[in-house]
């Protein structure tokens, strides 16, 4: 099963993608996590990506698409995957479609986790992220068992550099300008499914598994 997670920054794409990956036994592929791992390791790709991410802008398609297509070509992706944060522009979606159709493959579901802008800033300021394994927590809604430490791998949790309030507002604007058109794109393909992302995390997941089966 091949799934795309759509939604504004902070809508809960990463939180739900992890749950989906565990339940269906498929890899969770987050372009944001891959960039952050590259930044942490000081790679050239990471250095290039950081300059855009810190401003709340998108990393150029030229850097993003080849990285993602390379990842979904790995052997662990043969039975499917859940994409989190990709595609984010119409050209990215078209490149993905083209690469998949060359292999006679297609995306099965595009799940839009719908959360209004008003809810987003609060979620971001309370978010704490594990840069080692990609797990995400929230100080109030989804706290880790041990303060400041990841439940899954024990690493220290951090506030992401791009989660400052002014950068979050910029990311929301970029989302509306460049990513929201994908909702129409996948509606036309007949694979868009919308879930109410303002519900409790477990209820959002129940709605998603109701769709995926």
Q: Which residues are catalytic?
A: 13, 88, 127, 160, 171
Q: Least distance (Å) from ligand AP5 to the CB of residue 70?
A: 14
204 binds, among Mg ion, Zn ion, ligand AP5, none (CB under 5 to 8 A by kind): ligand AP5
CA distances to 18, 108, 115, 192 from 211, rounded to whole Å, are 16, 11, 18, 11
Q: With H, G, I as helix, E, B as strand and everything else as coil, classify residue 98.
A: helix
In 117-144, which positions are buried (b, 16+ CB within 10 angstroms) versus exposed (e)?
eeebbebbebbbbbbeebbbbbeeebeb
Helices (H), 8-116: 13-24, 31-40, 44-53, 61-72, 90-102
> CA-to-CA distance for 152 and 136, rounded, in angstroms?
10
Residue 10 binds Mg ion, judged by CB under 5 A: no
- Binding-site size for ligand AP5 (CB under 6 A) equals 36
| Contact between 105 and 27 (Cβ < 8 Å) | no
47 binds, among ligand AP5, Mg ion, Zn ion, none (CB under 5 to 8 A by kind): none
Segment near ligand AP5 (CB under 6 A); pick from 40-48, 70-78, 85-93, 96-104: 85-93
Q: Which of 96, 136, 150, 195 binds ligand AP5 (CB under 6 A)?
A: 136
Q: Which residues bind ligand AP5 (CB under 6 A)?
A: 7, 9-15, 30-32, 35, 52-53, 56-59, 64, 85-86, 88, 92, 123, 126-127, 136-138, 141-142, 162, 171, 200-201, 204
Q: Which residues bind Zn ion (CB under 5 A)?
A: 130, 132-133, 135, 150, 152-153, 155
């Amino acid at each position: 099963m091949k799934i795309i997670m759509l939604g504004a920054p902070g809508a809960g794409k990463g939180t739900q993608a992890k749950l989906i990956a565990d339940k269906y036994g498929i890899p969770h592929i987050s372009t944001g996590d891959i960039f952050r791992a590259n930044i942490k390791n000081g790679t050239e790709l990471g250095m290039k990506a950081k300059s855009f991410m810190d401003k709340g802008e998108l990393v150029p398609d030229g850097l993003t698409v080849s990285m993602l297509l390379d990842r979904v070509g790995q052997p662990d992706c043969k039975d499917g995957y859940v994409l989190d944060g990709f595609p984010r522009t119409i050209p990215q979606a078209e490149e993905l479609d083209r690469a998949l159709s060359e292999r006679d493959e297609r995306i099965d579901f595009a799940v839009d986790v719908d959360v209004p802008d008003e809810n987003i800033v609060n979620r971001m300021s309370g978010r704490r992220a594990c840069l080692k394994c990609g797990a995400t927590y929230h100080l109030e809604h989804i706290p880790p068992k041990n303060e400041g430490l990841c439940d899954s791998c024990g690493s220290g949790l951090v506030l992401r550099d791009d989660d400052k309030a002014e950068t979050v507002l910029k990311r929301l604007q970029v989302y509306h300008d460049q990513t929201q058109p994908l909702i129409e794109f996948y509606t036309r393909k007949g694979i868009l499914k919308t879930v109410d992302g303002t519900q409790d995390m477990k209820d959002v997941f129940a709605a998603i598994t109701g769709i995926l089966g």
